[in-house]
């Protein structure tokens, strides 16, 4: 096998805003380095290091390639470690999925107060993708959505060439919560935004951060600085989960987020998406807490309910915000999240909060099916 220098691997990365140098290689991150100084929560940094939507894309005549990786996976105490899956596509068609299991593990004990974190050490793995068709082809390798990944080595068949491929599809930026991050998906190409992007012919950049979609101004500025033909914002569920805002703070926060995007993306289509079905908090306010059985439950005293937000109320507020702005901003639209996942889909909501793998695929398919009526970029 022929060694490809890491400096030639870096330009093949798509969907990352920063490549953090390490002793052995580099680690893609989904938020830029400057945001570190404004990081509101270590959890956001952890989620930004997970490579949801990040891919290696290149043209090659190699019939095999190897990638040295050190993944850092996530495990909730009492549950299996989340799989770190790598999905390979060749000329747009799914080829194979490989798992990395030997890397570090972040263990979360949610039953301790406060939740306790520990890190179990691990070792690098070499992933081999062979049996590729002869001749020139475009290779797209989706990195794990549920792990961070350090890349330290890249090799191809002796004599083969590797060339970057310039993006050809419209650029889609998507901001959302764990439902968009998609750790429950079967693999990184099976999150709902990934499914929709392939069906719609869009180039996805995912700002889906599990537990961390809290309308942070710094994230708006990070998105503002990325080229985009289409932007979507799936807002609300984490605001309820955290009990982070009441109506008085939520409405201006959404306006400010949109204003920051419009500083640069003056006429780019923006779609605001409200929460999908969540039976816990359709009419009740958060916060939502994870019970020992793994099911989420709302917990709030009646005395603290004035101005508190449920997902049902957030849908009303987001619809009103978009309607209020549309006379001055005709490229702004609203989508009711219940069109993506509603009460009829509740069988695919095992913890009452997160859709399972089948539910996420269905969300992506439904979003793509709505593309024509919403006049979204890409193929209908």
pLDDT at residue 292 in the model: 73
CA dist 220 to 213, 227, 355, Å? 11, 13, 26
pLDDT at residue 326 in the model: 96
Q: What is the pTM of this model?
A: 0.94
Burial (0-12, 13-18, 19+ Cβ within 10 Å), 343: exposed
- SS (HEC) of 56-108: EEEEECCCCEEEEEEEEEEEECCCCCCCEEEEEEECCEEEEEEEECCCEEEEE
Question: How many C-beta neighbours within 10 Å does residue 208 have?
Answer: 28
Contact call for residues 280 and 297 (beta carbons, < 8 A): yes
Average pLDDT over the chain, rounded to whole?
A: 94
Contact call for residues 271 and 300 (beta carbons, < 8 A): no
Grade residue 287 by pLDDT with cuts at 50, 70 and 90.
confident
Q: Is the pLDDT of residue 296 over 90?
A: no
Q: Is the pLDDT of residue 230 over 60?
A: yes
Q: Is the pLDDT of residue 379 over 90?
A: no
pLDDT at residue 304 in the model: 59
pLDDT digits (tens, 9 = 90+) for 3-48: 999 999 999 999 999 999 999 999 999 999 999 999 988 899 999 9
pLDDT at residue 378 in the model: 82
- Give the C-alpha separation, 197 to 175, whole Å: 14
pLDDT at residue 305 in the model: 67
Grade residue 302 by pLDDT with cuts at 50, 70 and 90.
low
Residues 6+ apart with CB under 8 A from 182: 52, 145, 188, 190, 191, 192, 193, 194, 208, 360
CA dist 55 to 71, 165, 189, 311, Å? 15, 12, 10, 33
pLDDT at residue 140 in the model: 98
Q: Is the pLDDT of residue 303 over 60?
A: no
Phi, psi of 364 (to 5 degrees): -60, -40
pLDDT at residue 31 in the model: 98
Torsion of CA 160, 57, 146, 336, to 10 degrees: -160
pLDDT digits (tens, 9 = 90+) for 143-159: 999 999 999 999 999 99
Q: Map out the domains of the chain with their CATH numbers.
A: 2-164 (2.60.120.260), 171-374 (3.40.50.1110)
pLDDT digits (tens, 9 = 90+) for 237-259: 999 999 999 999 999 999 999 99
pLDDT digits (tens, 9 = 90+) for 328-352: 999 999 999 999 999 999 999 999 9
Residues 6+ apart with CB under 8 A from 339: 366, 370
pLDDT digits (tens, 9 = 90+) for 85-108: 999 999 999 999 999 999 999 998
Task: Indicate the range of 67-76, 79-88, 110-119, 299-308 predicted with least confidence.
Answer: 299-308
Contact call for residues 370 and 199 (beta carbons, < 8 A): no
Q: Is the pLDDT of residue 186 over 90?
A: yes
In percent, how much of the chain has pLDDT > 90?
84
pLDDT at residue 301 in the model: 61
Grade residue 202 by pLDDT with cuts at 50, 70 and 90.
very high
- Structure token digits, residue 351: 């913890």
Phi, psi of 377 (to 5 degrees): -65, 170
Residues 6+ apart with CB under 8 A from 328: none
In percent, how much of the chain has pLDDT > 70?
98
Contact call for residues 246 and 308 (beta carbons, < 8 A): yes
């Amino acid at each position: 096998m022929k060694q490809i220098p890491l400096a030639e691997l870096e330009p093949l990365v798509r969907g990352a805003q920063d490549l953090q140098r390490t002793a052995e290689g580099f680690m893609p991150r989904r938020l830029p380095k400057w945001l570190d100084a404004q990081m509101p929560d270590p959890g956001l940094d952890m989620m930004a290091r997970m490579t949801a939507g990040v891919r290696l894309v290149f043209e090659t005549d190699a019939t095999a390639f190897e990638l040295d990786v050190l993944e850092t996976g996530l495990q909730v105490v009492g549950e299996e470690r989340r799989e770190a899956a790598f999905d390979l596509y060749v000329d747009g068609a799914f080829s194979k999925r490989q798992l990395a299991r030997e890397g570090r593990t972040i263990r979360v004990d949610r039953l301790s107060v406060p939740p306790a974190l520990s890190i179990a050490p691990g070792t690098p793995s070499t992933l081999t993708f062979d049996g590729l068709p002869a001749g020139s082809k475009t290779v797209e390798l989706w990195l794990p959505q549920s792990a961070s990944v350090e890349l330290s080595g890249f090799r191809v068949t002796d004599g083969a060439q590797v060339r970057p491929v310039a993006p050809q599809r419209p650029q889609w930026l998507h901001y959302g919560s764990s439902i968009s991050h998609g750790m429950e998906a079967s693999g990184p190409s099976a999150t709902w935004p990934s499914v929709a992007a392939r069906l719609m012919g869009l180039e996805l950049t995912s700002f889906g951060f599990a537990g961390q979609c809290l309308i942070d101004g710094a994230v708006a500025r990070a998105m503002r600085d990325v080229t985009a033909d289409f932007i979507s914002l799936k807002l609300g569920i984490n605001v309820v989960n955290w009990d982070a805002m009441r109506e008085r703070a939520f409405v201006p926060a959404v306006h400010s987020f949109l204003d920051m995007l419009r500083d640069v993306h003056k006429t780019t289509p923006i779609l605001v998406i409200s929460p999908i079905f969540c039976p816990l908090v359709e009419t009740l306010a958060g916060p939502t807490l994870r019970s020992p059985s793994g099911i989420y439950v709302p917990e709030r005293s009646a005395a603290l309910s004035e101005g508190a937000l449920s997902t049902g109320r957030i849908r009303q507020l987001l619809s009103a915000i978009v309607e209020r702005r549309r006379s001055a901003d005709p490229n702004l639209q609203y989508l009711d999240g219940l069109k993506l996942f509603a009460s009829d889909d509740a069988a695919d909501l095992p913890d009452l909060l997160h859709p399972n793998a089948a539910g996420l695929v269905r969300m992506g398919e439904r979003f793509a099916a709505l593309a024509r009526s919403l006049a979204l970029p890409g193929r209908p």
